Amino acid sequence: MHMSSKIYSIIKGTGKFIPSKIVKNEDFLTTEFYDSYDKKSPKTNQEITAKFEEITTISERRHVSNDLVTSDIAFFAAEDAINSSKINKEELDYIIVAHNFGDVKHDNRRSDIVPSLAARVKYKLKIKNPNCVAYDLPFGCPGWLQATIQADYYIKSGDAKRVLVIGADVLSRISDPNDRDSMLYADGAGAVIWEAKESETPIGILSHATRSDTYEYSKMLYMDKSFNPNSEHKDALFLKMNGRRLYQYALTTVPQAIETCLKKFNTPLSEIKKVLIHQANGKMDDAILKRLYALYNITELPKDIMPMTISKLGNSSVATLPTLLDLILKDELKPHEINKGDSIVFASVGAGMNINAMLYKM
């Protein structure tokens, strides 16, 4: 019996931009930290940075240079993906840019999103085709994965053959320099070109799951003024977080989302070769992985199942997953590799609160 072929979304090319400026934990030793509004931290900076690294595993992060904004680094990652895919950029049907804060300049901390970052990237790429539709997607840290899910719908419906999905954020400019959470945040951009491919056997994106828990959890990440009453950025709004509640929320819901996603395609967890997870906190991701395997009554976790970059690259929000994928596929994150036939799962959690997961077969 001849099997009918279907259209699947596969990875055609990947790209990234990792800023060259390294900011180490020691660079925060002279920072004036506040625990809350107008309340200075009684702890020494040595204690604060040591505890921070112990909890998050972050020892350094990357920040962009003063002359760059988010749309610039989104363009760099896009160009890298186009070059690695060897496609004609005029044949892109969509450019979707996931971000959360638009372009925020070094000397003007206001969000600038007109025109959209996707429009700016398309312009920088010098794409003339008016049928290449460019738009943005703000969805918290899971934005790149959600934009990928949208790309998959476009491809499977026959509406698109190629979609460029970029995740880019410059978090160093929206984090309160007097809040210890500022040590979490990093800058970066990652991009993937998804392409339609006909196949008789399932390949590419096989299933996904998304949830938005806004009723109880929408205020876990929010924007507010600096903890420092004498901040030089009097009118600026900074990213604030209820870290403890967020940790608990992620621990409970991320494993469930991954399980839901795998069930949709009847895939046992034992078939998964890699778990590519959004990285906001190294210890939290370890706990999420344990919880995930516990759902399947597995106590022995496979070695090297979850590649991590957070200790050196920090939390780059929407850029984390595409950057991680690019590093592995380009053999820049030894010993990790993804081979033909491997099933991998992507997962992310962030502001909203939003969670998503996706199953992909190489």
Instruction: Give the CATH number of the domain where residue 46 resides.
Output: 3.40.47.10
2 band by pLDDT with thresholds 50, 70 and 90? low
Mean pLDDT along residues 308-331: 98
CA-nearest of 191, 185, 247, 178 to 75 is 191
109 has a pLDDT exceeding 90: no
Are 258 and 359 in contact by the 8 Å Cβ rule? The answer is: no
1 band by pLDDT with thresholds 50, 70 and 90? very low
Q: Residue 327 corresponds to which amino acid?
A: L
179, 318: one domain:
no
Domain that holds residue 327: 204-361
Mean pLDDT along residues 94-119: 96
What percentage of the chain carries pLDDT values higher than 70? 99
261, 115: one domain:
no
Cis check for the bond before 335: say yes or no (omega within 30 of 0). yes
Give the C-alpha separation, 361 to 246, whole Å.
30
CA-nearest of 178, 180, 194, 183 to 228 is 178
151, 279: one domain:
no
- Using the structure block, give the residue that is written with the tokens 């895939």: 267
187, 329: one domain:
no
Supply the pLDDT for residue 232. 87
Supply the pLDDT for residue 3. 64
CA-nearest of 119, 132, 149, 150 to 88 is 132
263 has a pLDDT exceeding 90: yes
Mean pLDDT along residues 191-210: 98
43, 69: one domain:
yes
Which pTM was predicted?
0.97
Mean pLDDT along residues 261-277: 98
Q: Which residues of 27-38 are buried (b: 16+ CB within 10 A; e: fewer)?
A: ebeebebbeeee
243 has a pLDDT exceeding 60: yes
3-state secondary structure of 13: strand
Q: Using one digit for the tens of pLDDT, what is the confidence trace for 206-217? A: 999 999 999 999
351 band by pLDDT with thresholds 50, 70 and 90? very high
Give the C-alpha separation, 30 to 40, whole Å.
14
130, 228: one domain:
no
272, 344: one domain:
yes
Least confident of 13-17, 37-41, 165-169: 37-41
279 has a pLDDT exceeding 50: yes
